[in-house]
Amino acid sequence: MTSDTPHQVERVDAVLPAASDAPAVRATAVSKVFATKTGDVAALSEVDLEVAAGEFVALIGPSGCGKSTLLRLIADLDQASAGTLEIFGKPAKRARADQDYGIAFQQAGLLPWRTVGANMALPLELHGTGKAERGARVAELAELVGLTDFVDRYPDQLSGGMQQRVAIARALAARPKLLLMDEPFGALDEMTRERLQTELTRIAAETSAAVVFVTHSIPEAVFLSDRVVVMSPRPGRITDVIDIELGGARSEALRESPEFFDRVTAVREALHGAPVTRASET
C-alpha cells in the first residue's frame, strides 16, 4: 500500500460527515467578476453571509443584483473570483460531491425521457436508495406537490407549473440538510404558490433543513424566512439583513396578521433604501 500518496487522501468517493457545529453556508468576502465583451461586470462584491443549520434565509433584490450568482457559487456551479465558500464546513466542491444539498432553480430542468416519478426519484438513485423505498418516497413526494395522478406521465405532458412542482419534489427527495432555491415558485399561480410556501416551511422545519431561497416577492420572502437578506446591484452586495421573528410555525392566518405586514413594510423600505423604523430594532 502506498498510503502516503495524495490521491488517497483526496479521494471524494467516501462521504465526509458534515461538521456538526458548522453553519450550512458560510460565504466570506466573496466577489465575482464576469469578463464580458463590453468589460468586466462586478456581479458580487465582498459578500459575507452565514446561514445557520436549519435556518431559512431569503435573498431579495432587483434584477441583476447577483442573487442567482451567489446561489450558483454556493452550489459550486461557478467559481468565485475572490473569497471563500463553505457548506457545512466543507469546500463547495466537496459538498457538491457529497450531495449535501438539493437544488430547485427557475427552470425545472427535468429529464424528458423519464416519467415524473422517475425524475423525482433521481437523487434517491444517486444516493443508492433501494427500489421499494424509492417507490414509497415518490408516492409521498407526489402527494406533497399534488401530482399523485401524474407520476407515470412524462414532463412534456405537464404544464410549466406542474413541471416546477416535480423539480421541487426532486430537490426534496433525499431530505437534504440544505436546499438552494432560485425563484422556484415564480411560474406558479398565486394559490398553488401560497400552498407550496406553506408546505415548504413545514418541510424545512420537519427535516431541519436550511434553505437559501431567491425571490422577487416581498410577501414570499417574509412568509418563508427567518432572515431576509436584501441585495443591491452594481456591484452586487448585501445592503440589509432583516430578522423576521415570526416564529417557526407559519400558518395561513399569518398572512393577514399585523406582524406580517410590519415585516413586509420593513423589507420594502430596505429595498427602497428608506430607514427601517421598526420598534423592535430601536
Ligand X SMILES: Nc1ncnc2c1ncn2[C@@H]1O[C@H](COP(=O)(O)OP(=O)(O)O)[C@@H](O)[C@H]1O
Distance of alpha carbon 4 from the chain centroid: 39
Q: Does 201 bind Mg ion (CB under 5 A)?
A: no
Q: Does 184 bind ligand X (CB under 6 A)?
A: no
Q: Does 237 bind ligand X (CB under 6 A)?
A: no
* Per-residue interface string for the shown chain with ligand X, residues 55-84, x marking contact by CB under 6 A: ------x-xxxxxxx---------------
Nearer to ligand X, 115 or 225 (CB): 225
Alpha helices in the chain (DSSP H): 6-9, 67-74, 92-97, 116-126, 131-144, 160-172, 190-207, 218-224, 258-271
Selected from 45, 68, 115, 201, the binder of Mg ion by CB under 5 A is: 68
C-alpha cell at 266: 420593513
Closest C-alpha among 207, 253, 179, 232 to residue 25: 179
SS3 percent helix, strand, coil of the chain, rounded to 5, is 40, 25, 40
Q: Which stretch binds Mg ion (CB under 5 A): 65-73, 149-157, 201-209, 216-224?
A: 65-73
Nearer to Mg ion, 31 or 68 (CB): 68
Q: Does 117 bind ligand X (CB under 6 A)?
A: no
Please report, for residues 117, 125, 142, 232, 274, the alpha-carbon distance to residue 136 in angstroms, rounded to integers and kept in the order given.
11, 13, 10, 43, 50
Q: Does 107 bind ligand X (CB under 6 A)?
A: no
Residues that bind ligand X (CB under 6 A): 34, 36, 41, 43, 61, 63-69, 236
Residues that bind Mg ion (CB under 5 A): 68
